[in-house]
Structure 1
Amino acid sequence: MAFLLFLLCLILVIFTVTTMGVPNIPSLDPVNRFLKGQTDVSKIVSSDFQEFFYDQTLDHFNYRPESYTTFQQRYYINYKWWGGASNNAPIFAYLGAESPIDDALWSIGFLPENAPRFNALLVYMEHRFYGQSNPVGSMEAPNMVDAMEKSLENPDTRGYFNSAQALADYAELLLYLKNQLQAHNSPIIVIGGSYGGMLASWFRLKYPHIALGALASSAPILYFENLTPPDGYYSVVTQDFKEASQNCYTTIKQSWDVIDQLATTPSGLAYLSQKFQTCSPLSNADELKNYLKSVYSNAAQYDAPPNYPTARICQGIDGASDATDILDRIFAGVVAYMPGMSCYVTSPEVVSPSESVSQTSIGWEWQTCSELLIPLGITSEDSMFQSLPYDANVFIDNCVRSFGVGPRPHWVTTYYGGQDIKLILSKFGSNIIFSNGLRDPYSIGGVLENISENIVAIKTTEGSHCLDILSSGEADPEWLVKQRKDEANIIDRWFAEYYRNFRLL
C-alpha cells in the first residue's frame, strides 16, 4: 500500500527527448507523469471542491484593442473549513503550473491537510493556456492538446503565454474573489511546487499587497544563466545513483559506449530494439540513450521514500549481475522501475506507451524556448552520463527552428531578480519559505540557506521533488512529517503577526 501511495504522487512529469543530442529541460512539475498507468490507485477528488470560471484579461500590460479580450480561467474553491470573511479567516491559494489543475486537487495535500488548523479557504487556480484555461476555446479546438497546438501556432496568441501574465492572472482573480466574498482583510498564502513554486515566490515579491506569504516548494529560481553551473542537475542525478549502488553507477556509465558501438553495426539498431522491447524500431542510438537518460533523471528527481526509485533501478541492475550482457542489466533496471509495460523506449515525441504528446510537453517547450531557459549540460568526468556541454547557441537555434523566435536568456533574472539574492532579498523581501529535498536534481538551483529571519530555507537530505506539499501518507518518514509541521508553524507565525498588527491598526 505504501508503494501504491508513492506511485499516486508520481503522475505529472514529462521528459521530452530529442534525436539531435541537445539536452532538453525536464518539466518542473510537483508530481511525476512518467509512471502514468503504473498504478491502479484511483484519483479521489473531494466533492467539497467546486469548479468555477473567471473572465480573465488576456493582456494585463497593454491597452491595444485585443488586450481587452478575455478568456475563461478555471479555478476551484473548497469552503469546507473556512472560518468566514467576518472572522478574517485566511485563504490558501495554490498556483497552478504547466499542467491542468485537476491533478493538483487530489495530489497537493498540504492545503486541505492544514486548512482545518487555520480555518482556511482553499483556492486552486489553473495556469493560462493549460487545462481548460486556454484562450483558444473549445469552439476552436476539439480538445486541450489541440487547443495548445493551435495557440502556439499563432505568434500573436502565444505572445501572451508567459509567467508575468500568469502572475497577473492570479492577482486579478484573487482580488476578485476577496471582493466577491467580502473577505477584504483575509490574509492570503500562495503555495506552489516546482515551476509553481517559482511562481509563488515571485508572486510574493511582485504582489506583496495581495499575498501575505509564500510556500515555494522545490523552486529552482537560481537555475538560470550565470547563477547555477549547467552541469548541476546531472551531477545530482549521478550522486543519487552512486549513493544507491557504486556497481549500478559504473554499469550505467559503461553502457553508453556499448550502445553506440552496437548502433554502428549493420543489425545493431534491430538488436537494440529487440533487447529493449521498444514500442517501435529504433531509428538511431540517441532515441534509446535519451530515453534512458530520462528514466534515470526522472527517478532521481522523484527519488521519494519509502521505495526510492534510484534504488529500485539499481536493484534491478545489480540483481541481474549474473547476466553477461551489460544491456540486459540496464534493461532489468528499466523494468524494475516500470514493471508490467507492454513495450519500452517510445519515439521522441511520446513519453510513455499510454500517453502521446501532451499539453505539458507542448507548452513547456514554448516556455523554455521563450523566458524559462534553464541551462543544462554534462561536463564532469565523474558523471554517469556521456559528456554533453551546454551550448546556448545550439539551444537557441533549435528554439528558432521550432517557433521562429529565440529565448531571452537574461529576462527572468532581469524581471524577477536572482543575482546577489541574499543581499537583495534580505533588504526588502519577507515571508517566503523555500523548501527543497537534496535528492532532487533541481535543488541545485534552489535557495538552500536562510536569507533572513522571514525568508527561510528548509531542506531535507533524503527528500526529493515537492514531497512536502504532496498528500501525506502513513509511511511518511519522521523527517518529512517534521518538515511539513515546521512549514505550517512558520505560516502560523505569519498569521499571528498579521492579526496582531491588524488589531493595532
Structure 2
Amino acid sequence: MRILLLLLSILLEVDCLRVLRDPVTLSFSNQRNRDFKNQFSISDSPYQWSTEWLANVPVDHFAFANNDTFKLRYFINTKSYEEGGPIFFYTGNEGALEGFALNTGFMWDIAPEFKAAVVFAEHRYYGETWPYPKSLSYNDTRYLGYLSSEQALADFALLIDHLKQNRIPGAANSPVIVFGGSYGGMLSAWMRIKYPHIVHGAIAASAPVFWFFDSGVKEDVYDEIVTRAFVTEGCNFKAIEKAWVGLDNLAQTEEGRAYLNSLFKLEKTRQLQTPGDVNIIKNCVHDVFDTMAMVNYPYESNFMAPLPGWPVAAACKSLSVVAKSDKEAAEGLHAAVNLYYNYTGKAEILCTDPDAALGENNLWPYQACTEMVMPICSSGPPNDFFWNTCPFTAAGWLEECKQLYVSFILHDAHFMVPHAALCPTLQNRASTLLRFYQENSIIHVKIIDQSIFPCSWVVSRKLEIKNVRT
C-alpha cells in the first residue's frame, strides 16, 4: 500500500540542519531547476490571472515604532465570479507565487461551480514581495526581523479587506475560503483561527499544524513514514542498512574516497577528502529519500526535479537485495540518487552543495530557526533505515542555527516556538475541524488539478467540495 505523507514539506540539509520546505516552491528556485519557467511557459497553462499589487502594507502590523510600508503581490482571476460569490484565497508559502498558482488546480477546478473569484497572495520576503531590498534583508535582522507567519497573516487579512471593499465588485459580504498546502496550509488553518470574522472556512492540505514541541508528534515519525514508503515499494531494509556501512568503509581509504567521488559525481567543493566527509554523501542520499517519498506521484512530475511516475518504486529496483560488497552497496544508493538528480541523463554532477538547493531566497531556514521549529530526527532501526540523530533538542537546534546564520549572531532571545497554544485551540474547536486521511496519496494531493486525480482519491475531493459549500 502506497503511504500517505501527511506533511507537505521538503527536507533540506545544511550539514546536519534539516529544514522543512514545500517542494512546489523549489520548482521555481532550486539550483537544478532554474530553467523551470523556460521548460513550462505560464502562458501555456490553463490557469490565467492578472498580477496586481496592494500598496501601503505595513512592515509591522503590531507596533508603532516602524511606519515603513511595502507592496504585496497577488494574482487574481474573476472570470467565474458573480456578484456576491465567494472568494477563494490561497495563503502563499515560502516561495514565488507562480508555483502555487500553477499547482493548485482544486481552486481553479471548482471556481466556476461556486461562481468564485480566485486569488493567490504572496508571502512577504518571498518571490517578488520584499518589504526591504534583498541586499539589506540578507544581512541585517533589523530588516529581516519582520519575516514571520504572524506578520504574513496580517498581510493577508489586509488584502482580503481590500478585495472585498475595493477590488471585487459586490464582494462586501462574500464569504472567503482560504486554501493552502504545507506551510501555506498551516497559514490557512491559522487564518481561520485568528481571523474568524474575515475567513469563513479553510482547506489546509498536508499542513503540519501540530508539529511543534510538546504537541505529541514523535520526533522520528517523518523518517518512519519515509522508510515505510520505500519498504512498501520493494526496498530491502537490510540492503539500505548495509549501504550506509559500505559508504563508511569505503571512506576510510583514499582509494575508496576517490571511488565515491567519481561514482556520485561530486562537485569539486564537495568531494570527500577525509573519512568524516562521507556525511556529504549520506546526507545527500537521505535528502533524496525524504524528497522522493513526498513527490511519489503516479505520473511524471517536475516539482523538485524531473522524475518518473512512482519514483520510489523505481528507486527501489536497485535496493531490493542486500549487496555482497561495499562497492555494490554504494552503487545501489547511487542508482537511487541518480534517478533523482539525473532522470533526464543531462546532469554532470549529482550531490550538490545543500546550500544551493535553497535557491535564491535562502530565508525559509531563517523562519525554521526563529519560529517554525519542528522537531525532526532519525532514530535508526527499527524505526527507520537511517542512522541515529535523535534526540532533537532546542539547544542543539539553536546551536546549528547559529552556525548557519553566524553573521546574524542569533541569541536565545531570537529562538521562539510560537503557535503552541494553537494546538489546544484547534482541539477545543473540534466540532468545526474536519481531518481527512487519504491512503495511497502524496503531498498537495488535496489541492492539485483534478484531471490528474487518481480514482481512489475522488471521495476525498468530494468531501472537500461538500465542506466548501457548507
Cα displacement (A) at 1:216: 0.3
Give the aligned residue type for 2:396.
V
1:226-305 matches, within 5 Å, as 226-227=214-215, 228-247=217-236, 249-280=237-268, 281-283=270-272, 284-305=277-298
- What residue is the counterpart of 1:334 in the other structure? 337
1:425 maps onto 2:432 in alignment: no
Q: Which moved more, 1:372-381 or 1:394-403?
A: 394-403
Q: 1:344 aligns with which of 343, 350, 357?
A: 350
Q: State the alpha-carbon separation in 2 of the partners of residues 321 and 381 from structure 1.
A: 18
Cα displacement (A) at 1:14: 5.7
Q: Residues 176, 368 of structure 1: CA spacing in aligned structure 2 closer, same or farther, 3 A cutoff? A: same
Give the aligned residue type for 1:425.
R
Structure 1 residues 382-420: Cα deviation after superposition (integer angstroms, max 9, x where no partner): 111011112332210122341322454432214xx1147
- What residue is the counterpart of 1:169 in the other structure? 155
Structure 1 residues 152-188: Cα deviation after superposition (integer angstroms, max 9, x where no partner): 3111111111000000000001101111034111100
Cα displacement (A) at 1:269: 2.4
Q: 2:313 aligns with which of 303, 311, 314?
A: 311
Give the aligned residue type for 1:24.
R
1:351-366 matches, within 5 Å, as 351=357, 357-360=358-361, 362-366=362-366
SS in 1 for 2:20: coil
Q: Residues 82, 378 of structure 1: CA spacing in aligned structure 2 closer, same or farther, 3 A cutoff? A: same
- What residue is the counterpart of 1:325 in the other structure? 328
1:490 maps onto 2:454 in alignment: no
Q: 1:458 aligns with which of 436, 442, 454?
A: 436
Contact kept, 8 Å, 1:316 with 1:332, in 2: the verdict is: yes
Q: 1:404 aligns with which of 396, 405, 409?
A: 409
Q: State the alpha-carbon separation in 2 of the partners of residues 136 and 409 from structure 1.
A: 23
Q: 1:413 aligns with which of 383, 397, 420?
A: 420
- What residue is the counterpart of 1:104 in the other structure? 100
Q: 2:114 aligns with which of 115, 118, 127?
A: 118
- What residue is the counterpart of 1:501 in the other structure? none
- What residue is the counterpart of 2:446 in the other structure? 468
Aligned-CA RMSD value:
2.4
Q: Residues 374, 459 of structure 1: CA spacing in aligned structure 2 closer, same or farther, 3 A cutoff? A: same
Contact kept, 8 Å, 1:30 with 1:465, in 2: the verdict is: no
Q: State the alpha-carbon separation in 1 of the partners of residues 200 and 352 from structure 2.
A: 45
- What residue is the counterpart of 1:480 in the other structure? 457
1:72 maps onto 2:71 in alignment: yes
Give identity over the alignment, percent: 28
SS in 2 for 1:233: helix
Contact kept, 8 Å, 2:77 with 2:117, in 1: the verdict is: yes
SS in 2 for 1:72: strand
Q: 1:153 aligns with which of 139, 142, 146?
A: 139
Q: State the alpha-carbon separation in 1 of the partners of residues 336 and 322 from structure 2.
A: 9
Q: 2:21 aligns with which of 22, 27, 37?
A: 27
Give the total of aligned pairs: 428
Give the aligned residue type for 1:25.
V
Q: Which moved more, 1:31-40 or 1:213-222?
A: 31-40
The alignment's TM-score, normalised by the length of structure 2, stands at: 0.85
The alignment's TM-score, normalised by the length of structure 1, stands at: 0.79
Contact kept, 8 Å, 2:123 with 2:129, in 1: the verdict is: yes
1:386 maps onto 2:380 in alignment: no
> Which structure has more RCO (C-alpha within 8 Å, separation ≥ 6)?
2
SS in 1 for 2:21: coil
- What residue is the counterpart of 2:304 in the other structure? none
